[in-house]
């Protein structure tokens, strides 16, 4: 029996976090500092993975972040993370960010990124993760896209050595 057949399969529910943008979150242009946005995305991705696999998860890489729209003071930030690819001890989490104008009820897409997270055991060594079910064509396409992102990250890591 191969390794894949022995692994548990567990659905990974999306995780959503919300926060409001305050003056100390702004850059000199008056919009939310990109580093704060990335930090929120990282926290959301980590919590999503830990809730899914019931183990500590650490960030291995952050890839393909694309900013589209600025987030302004007073708006509510919504971060949605979802596991879209699973290797043996790591997974890729697609993390999307939206802003909500609380006075007009407008919601708009701001950015997305892919976070490679590694599950670790009690000794902080990489530990095997469960698989996720792929039930729709969209899930299969996201799996393939995230796998390409992970493979490109591994190639960059090899070149850096």
Instruction: Express each pLDDT in 65-85 by its tens digit.
Output: 989 999 999 999 999 999 999
pLDDT in tens, 26-54: 999 999 999 999 999 999 999 999 999 99
Q: What is the DSSP letter of 24?
A: G
Averaged pLDDT of the chain: 94
Between CA 160 and CA 51 the distance in angstroms is: 32
Percent of the chain with pLDDT over 90: 89
Question: pTM to 2 decimals?
Answer: 0.93
Residue 6: its pLDDT value, please?
80
> In degrees, to the nearest 5, what angle opens at C-alpha 18 toward C-alphas 144 and 31?
90
Domains in the chain with CATH codes? 3-160 (3.10.129.10)
Q: To which residue do tokens 């079910």 refer?
A: 133
Residue 114 predicted with pLDDT over 90: yes
Contact 60, 5 (CB under 8 A): no
Distance of CA 121 to the CA centre of its chain: 20
Residue 1: its pLDDT value, please?
42
Grouping H, G, I as helix, E, B as strand and the rest as coil, residue 64 is: strand
Show the DSSP H helices in 54-136 as ranges.
Answer: none
Looking at residues 17-21, what average pLDDT do you find? Answer: 97
Contact 100, 41 (CB under 8 A): no
How many contiguous H segments (helices) and E segments (strands) does the chain have? 3, 5
Between CA 84 and CA 94 the distance in angstroms is: 6
Residue 157: its pLDDT value, please?
87
């Amino acid at each position: 029996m191969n390794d894949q057949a022995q692994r548990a399969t567990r659905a990974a529910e999306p995780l959503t976090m919300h926060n409001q943008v305050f003056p100390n979150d702004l850059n000199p242009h008056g919009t939310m500092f990109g580093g704060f946005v990335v930090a929120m995305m990282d926290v959301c991705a980590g919590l999503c993975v830990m809730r899914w696999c019931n183990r500590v998860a650490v960030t291995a890489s952050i890839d393909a972040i694309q900013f589209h729209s600025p987030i302004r003071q007073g708006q509510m930030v919504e971060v949605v993370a979802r596991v879209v690819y699973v290797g043996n001890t790591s997974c890729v989490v697609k993390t999307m960010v939206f802003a909500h104008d609380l006075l007009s009820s407008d919601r708009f897409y701001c950015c997305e990124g892919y976070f490679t997270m590694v599950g670790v055991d009690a000794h902080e060594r990489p530990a095997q993760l469960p698989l996720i079910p792929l039930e729709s064509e969209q899930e299969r396409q996201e799996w393939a896209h995230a796998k390409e992102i992970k493979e490109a990250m591994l190639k960059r890591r090899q070149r850096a050595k």
